[in-house]
Amino acid sequence: MSPVVIGLSLLALFALGVPIAISLAGTAALSMHASGIPLQALVQRMFAALDSFPLTAIPFFILAGALMEASGISRRLINFAQALVGRAIGGLGLVAVVSAMFFAAISGSSAATTAAIGGTLIPAMAQRGFPRPFATSVQAVSGELGVVIPPSIPMIIFALTAGVPVSIGSLFIAGVVPGLLIGGSLMLTVHVISRMRGYGQAVPRGGAPGGLGEPEGLFRSFRAALLPLLLPVIILGGIYGGIFTPTEAAAVAVFFALFVGAAVYRTLTPARLLAALRASLLSTVVILVIISAASVFGWVLTANRIPEMIAHFFISLSDNPAVFLLLVNAFLLIVGMFLETGAAITIVAPILTPVAMRLGIDPVHFGIIMIVNLAVGMTTPPVGVNLFVACQVAGLRIEQILKSMLPFYFVLLADIALVTYLPQLSLWLPRVLG
């Protein structure tokens, strides 16, 4: 089956609205059938793709995030963020970004971060004088920090599928500075726009609309949020200190979340626990099915030498690393608009990462570039998951917030350029700790 037919078959299934996993597996099945390969091999390879100990970190991290959310952790993080920045111009917008950064360090999921924080802050921002489309845009772009700031599920997927040895722990550490950079740039953008347009009102004494009262004292709110804030320290410190592997760290995160929610805060009731288990099970199944389908699709691509063709194509355009990264950024931004992040990484990472290494680009740095690009795809139509989640919370349509999203897109593109062409942003911290 020719590469053109494989590509057209996949695009046709996407255009018909067929789910990503079925599109990938279906295209692989057509190619295998055309090549005379028994279809039993499809199922065998899909199962083999999931037979990986490091891969079990994904359901553990998803469950840990769901347990933290069910325990009401997001409200404690919001209160602490409000105490930190709530008095500044555009205060609640800044609180949305800071809260997303805190929750990102727990959940590892962009959609979970957007939903957990947006449910409280979008209505509060709207009642504080922020236009609802702008408030929704702030929450949608802030949610992308869920996959940049560690622990990050896409980082685990990249490490397992890149085709070259990449440490999950190194990726986690490498995401810290880019995550802070993106979070800081979003905060600056919110502050400048709020100052220019007069968004947001000062928090009145004795309470505020939207369910958020006057900011608590910094020490008191910090103490209330201390335990969830310790979780990323335990995860990253344990991995880099050699105490446990990333998979073991994910299991520790689950037990920590259970202990905090059930024994310390006592907010994790049996009903909430069941809901968290159900939500994490559904999320895990979706991600793992996509990974298994993308894996067998990747095997078909390799059998048809398509990765080699793509590699030769990129190198034929230029063997200059700076030009290569520019082309990759443009390619990934387009891919991120149409493919779910996990599927995109599973398909693209094993093709492009070896080429990047041949050009002298560090695979950890390249992984961060890929994840930051695809994180932006979570905020762009037509399949930006953060847009759907934020708009569902706000009760808006996607087209109603696109104008408010434009300034943030320019800022995110600048962040991508900095992360791409200043590799020290990604590699400095791993080298210091290494």
Average pLDDT (151-173) is 89
pLDDT value, residue 216: 60
Q: Is the pLDDT of residue 409 over 70?
A: yes
pLDDT value, residue 206: 44
Taking the alpha carbons at both ends of the chain, their separation in whole angstroms is 46
71 phi/psi in degrees, rounded to 5: -85, 0
pLDDT value, residue 161: 86
Q: Is the pLDDT of residue 211 over 50?
A: no
Q: Is the pLDDT of residue 215 over 70?
A: no
pLDDT band at 187 (very low <50, low <70, confident <90, very high): very high
State the Rg of the chain over Cα: 22
pTM of the model: 0.84
Q: How far are the Cα atoms of 59, 68, 86, 286 from residue 278, in angstroms, in the given order?
A: 12, 14, 34, 13
Q: Is the pLDDT of residue 214 over 60?
A: no
Mean of pLDDT over the chain = 86
20-34, 132-146, 202-216: least confidently modelled range: 202-216
**Amino acid identity at 80:** F
pLDDT in tens, 247-300: 888 899 889 889 988 888 888 899 999 998 998 888 888 888 888 888 888 788
What's the CA gap between 416 and 326, in Å, rounded?
A: 10
pLDDT value, residue 201: 57
The SS3 assignment for 375 reads helix
pLDDT value, residue 1: 66
Q: Say which residues have a Cβ less than 8 Å from residue 260's Cβ, sequence separation at least 6.
A: 68, 71, 73, 227, 228
- Higher per-residue pLDDT: 117 or 148: 148
Average pLDDT (88-113) is 85
Count of domains forming the chain: 1
Q: Is the pLDDT of residue 96 over 70?
A: yes
**What proportion of the chain, given as a percentage, has pLDDT over 90?**
30
Range of the domain at 190: 3-433
The SS3 assignment for 89 reads coil
86-95, 114-123, 204-213: least confidently modelled range: 204-213
How many Å separate Cα 275 from the centre of its chain? 22
Q: Is the pLDDT of residue 210 over 70?
A: no
How many Å separate Cα 109 from the centre of its chain? 5
pLDDT value, residue 207: 45
* C-beta neighbour count of 18 within 10 angstroms: 15
pLDDT band at 107 (very low <50, low <70, confident <90, very high): confident
Q: Is the pLDDT of residue 8 over 80?
A: yes
pLDDT value, residue 427: 95
pLDDT value, residue 212: 55
Q: Is the pLDDT of residue 224 over 50?
A: yes
Q: Are 205 and 214 in contact (CB under 8 A)?
A: yes
Q: Say which residues have a Cβ less than 8 Å from residue 82's Cβ, sequence separation at least 6.
A: 91, 92, 95, 212, 215, 216, 221
pLDDT value, residue 209: 41
Tokens of 220: 């008191």
Q: Is the pLDDT of residue 213 over 80?
A: no
- Higher per-residue pLDDT: 205 or 363: 363
Average pLDDT (234-259) is 86
